Structure 1
Amino acid sequence: MDALYTAQATSTGGGRDGHVRSTDGFVDLDVATPKELGGAGGATNPEQLFAAGYAACFHSALQSVARREGTEIAGSSVRAEVGIGPDGDGGFGLTVALHVELERVDRAVADALVAGAHQVCPYSNATRGNLDVDITSSVR
């Protein structure tokens, strides 16, 4: 694959309890281990950053598929939930759940758009076969 864009970011100061910064400076954040994992909390963490990236990327894929199909999805949203926990082999694994909300489309159209987005989204393609992604959708 020839990359059209490459993002770069660097972690300093201790990984989960440190700082991350992209080369362009748009991401410039302290990170902290969540209280639920025994840390102090009080800053973003890798799971939140992954959830934000996946939600935005999947939403973009959803909009692209909808445009291709000639379907208007103004007012749509995608919420990503990324969980972390022991994987049973001494390491840690992730869980992902995507919640898609669409307005003014029927259920069959919504299901087709979500399935199409899951096929073209780079995050979905990267995680496929590595972790289960649970996708639910609702129509308002």
Structure 2
Amino acid sequence: MVQHKFTMDLTWADGRNGTGNITSSNLQTQISIPQEMNGPGIGTNPDEMLLGAAATCYLITLAALLERSEIDVMSLSMQAHGFVSVENGVFTYEKIVHKPTIVVQELSEHLAKRIERLAHKAEQTCMISKAVKGNVLIECDVQILEASI
């Protein structure tokens, strides 16, 4: 078994509405509670970071699956949405929706079905999706387009 270790250093000052910093090998940014949750909204926050982790893992997994399937993708982009509810002062990360847009040269019904299956397989096999499974619902709303010439 190969195990990979990732390290992040964090600092925090001034209680709930304070700010902090996170530093890892490829990420340095400020953190705080978002304004939507009555925080200062400085830098990023755990909600965005979870969405970012899930979205980047999904997108990388999707790109790899498309490549392995030898599907010639002209453009791959994505928007992701995270939904957090609050009830009786308790915040719950309920759902993430991945909205990839995949552009191919020539689109057939068969190719569209293959891409759709791969897009859903990426959500099921992504490491972050598997880590939050059972706690956060993850949905996939795929848009497949033919390149305009």
TM-score over 0.5 for the alignment?
A: yes
1:112 correspondence with 2:117: yes
For 1:91, the equivalent position in structure 2 comes to 90
The percent of aligned pairs where both chains have the same amino acid is 20
After TM superposition, where is structure 1 displaced by more than 4 Å over at least 4 residues in a row? none
Q: Which amino acid aligns with 1:81?
A: H
* Gap runs ≥5 in structure 1: none
Partners of 2:55 and 2:64 in 1: CA distance: 14
* Count, aligned residues: 136
Contact 1:56–1:78, Cα closer than 8 Å, also in 2: no
Q: Which residue of 1 aligns with 2:128?
A: 123
Task: Please provide the CA RMSD for this pair.
Answer: 2.2
Q: Are residue 40 (structure 1) and residue 40 (structure 2) matched?
A: yes
Give the TM-score, by structure 2 length.
0.78
What residue number does 1:19 align with? Answer: 21
Q: Deviations over 1:30-76 (max 9, x none)?
A: 11221111112132112222222222211111111112211122311
Distance in 2, Cα, partners of 1:89 & 1:7 = 35
- Structure 2 gap ranges (5+): none
User: What amino acid is aligned across from residue 12 of structure 1 in structure 2?
Assistant: T
Q: Which has the higher strand share?
A: 2
Q: Quick one: distance in 2 between partners of 1:115 and 1:97? A: 12
**TM-score scaled by length of structure 1:** 0.83
The 1:84–1:11 alpha-carbon spacing in structure 2 relative to 1, beyond 3 Å, is farther
Alignment of 1:69 with 2:76, yes or no, is no
SS of the residue 2:141 aligns to: strand
- The alignment partner of 1:13 has SS state of strand
